[in-house]
Amino acid sequence: MKLFKDLILVAAAIMALTACGDKKDSAEREKEAQRAIQEGMKKEKAMMEGMQKGVESVEKKMTEQKEATKK
pLDDT in tens, 21-51: 666 677 888 899 999 999 999 999 999 999 9
| Distance of alpha carbon 42 from alpha carbon 48, whole angstroms | 10
The model carries a pTM of 0.52
Q: Quick check: 12 pLDDT over 70?
A: yes
| Distance of alpha carbon 56 from alpha carbon 15, whole angstroms | 60
Q: What is the pLDDT of residue 61?
A: 94
